Structure 1
Amino acid sequence: MKQKKAWSFFQSLGKAFMYPIALLSVCGMMLGLGSGLASDDMAKLIPFLAIPIIKTILDFIVSLGLFAFVNLPVLFAIAIPLGLLKDKEDKAYGAFSGLIGFMAMHLGTNFYLKQHDLLVVADQMSTHGQTIILGIQSYNTSVLGGIVAGLLVASMYKKIVNLRIPESLGFYSGPRLVPIITLIVMSGFGLIIPFIWPPFFNLFMLIGHWISTSGPVGYFFYAVAERVTIPFGLNHLVTSVFRFTPIGGSAVIGG
């Protein structure tokens, strides 16, 4: 019985993943097409592409293509409740609550970082594992953060939607109660992330340092680590060591 439930859950979760992945594939094609045709080399081969209005249209296509890649974590946070919940009304409120939960989680993290003076300036964000997410500076938990937020919201939804509250507060009962409690719970969860994420991030930094200093064996593990973490959007933790720190080499430009 438990095996059937687990199998059903993972089937539903797999279907939920297809929502952002389908959009991602189309955005990837738009990004590739727009970037390819907008390049200077293509403009030399096909002068028509150098016309300003055509160039503007191609740049717009590139911007559309970037949409899914930039917002992939929040897309997963919305898609998972949408895919796991059954009724149409539940799906709608669940997706809405997924967005609320994802933003509240990072708002909680931002509050903690701000209170403890841990927010860094823009050019230091990558090396400190931080980024701007929907206008909120927080830890870059990437797609993994969106998946965790979506799973937590979907799990809470099933428990909250049937809660009985006083009749005087009846307006807030049922599905309307879910985003309210989600806001509170997920912001609290966001306060915990600063205790969990830095050790996780530092572990990846240590692995990256070891890879960079261990020769061919390290290169092999680098390739494996990058491929394994791509589905979770955590490959940036591996590559950031080489791209944004002296480990990857330094260059002096313009003296």
Structure 2
Amino acid sequence: MSNKAEATKKQKSALLLPVGVLLVAGILLLIGQPGALNITFFEEMGKTVFAHLPMIVAIIVAIALAVDDHGTVVLSAVLGYFVLNKGVQTINDASNMGIVAGIIAGIVAGLLYNKYKNAQLPTWLAFFGGKRFVPIVTAFTCIILALIFGYAWVPLKGLF
């Protein structure tokens, strides 16, 4: 199998991960419902999974796009999601990008990981080179995106 075919298979497999996550969250919510076992503990856990679904999606998309399996891409996706989401909300508290922020952060982290995982910096900055550079460049990219979406998200959301 060619490298491109393997990468496509890996991406499809990774993008199916949310189905498993949603299944777990749904079961937890169901168990907690009054018509089922009425166990609030399980309901709250299910709600928490759904509340953090954008971050989970950011991680999954980043894993799907990264050419190798490295935790740096996951850290970068989570960091990118936090920066993007909070930045947009700080500019306009009526803005809630939700899962779209997770998708964007995952794409940004995955693509920047592939591009900068072997980045060479000047000697005095060498410690921050390579994979350590990816979270930095992801955060700065998401700051720029937060500035854009902070002002554009509400009008854009109205188009859908």
Q: Which amino acid aligns with 2:100?
A: L
| Equivalent residue number for residue 101 of structure 1 | 80
CA distance in 2, matches of 1:77, 1:164: 26
Check conservation: 2:116, 2:134, Cα contact below 8 A. Answer: yes
Asked if residue 144 in structure 1 is aligned to residue 100 in structure 2, the reply is yes
State the Cα deviation string for residues 151-170 of structure 1 (Å, max 9, x = none). 11111111121221011211
CA distance in 2, matches of 1:37, 1:149: 36
Mapping 1:155-170, distance limit 5 Å: 155-170=111-126
Greater relative contact order structure (CA < 8 Å, 6+ sep): 2
CA distance in 1, matches of 2:80, 2:36: 39
Asked if residue 13 in structure 1 is aligned to residue 41 in structure 2, the reply is no
| Equivalent residue number for residue 70 of structure 1 | 51
Unaligned 5+ runs, structure 1: 40-57, 114-118, 120-129, 131-138, 205-255
Unaligned 5+ runs, structure 2: none
State the Cα deviation string for residues 76-105 of structure 1 (Å, max 9, x = none). 1111112332433x3x00000000111111
Report how far residue 72 of structure 1 moved: 0.8
Larger radius of gyration: 1
Q: How many corresponding residue pairs? A: 157
CA distance in 1, matches of 2:61, 2:29: 25
Asked if residue 87 in structure 1 is aligned to residue 68 in structure 2, the reply is yes
Check conservation: 1:20, 1:68, Cα contact below 8 A. Answer: no
- For residue 175 of structure 1, the aligned residue among 131, 154, 158 is 131
Closer, same or farther: CA 100–200 of 1 in aligned 2, 3 Å? same
| Equivalent residue number for residue 21 of structure 2 | 23
Check conservation: 2:29, 2:45, Cα contact below 8 A. Answer: yes
Mapping 1:1-255, distance limit 5 Å: 11-35=9-33, 36-39=35-38, 58-88=39-69, 90=70, 92-113=71-92, 119=93, 130=94, 139-204=95-160
CA distance in 1, matches of 2:145, 2:61: 18
Q: Secondary structure at the match of 2:75?
A: helix
Q: Which amino acid aligns with 2:19?
A: I
CA distance in 2, matches of 1:110, 1:141: 9
Q: Which amino acid aligns with 2:52?
A: N
Q: Secondary structure at the match of 1:37?
A: coil
CA distance in 1, matches of 2:86, 2:116: 22
State the Cα deviation string for residues 16-70 of structure 1 (Å, max 9, x = none). 222232121012012112213355xxxxxxxxxxxxxxxxxx1101111222211
Q: Which amino acid aligns with 1:177?
A: F
Check conservation: 1:108, 1:188, Cα contact below 8 A. Answer: no
- Normalising by structure 1, we get a TM-score of 0.56
Task: Give the superposed CA RMSD.
Answer: 2.2
Report how far residue 10 of structure 1 moved: 5.4
Closer, same or farther: CA 166–95 of 1 in aligned 2, 3 Å? same
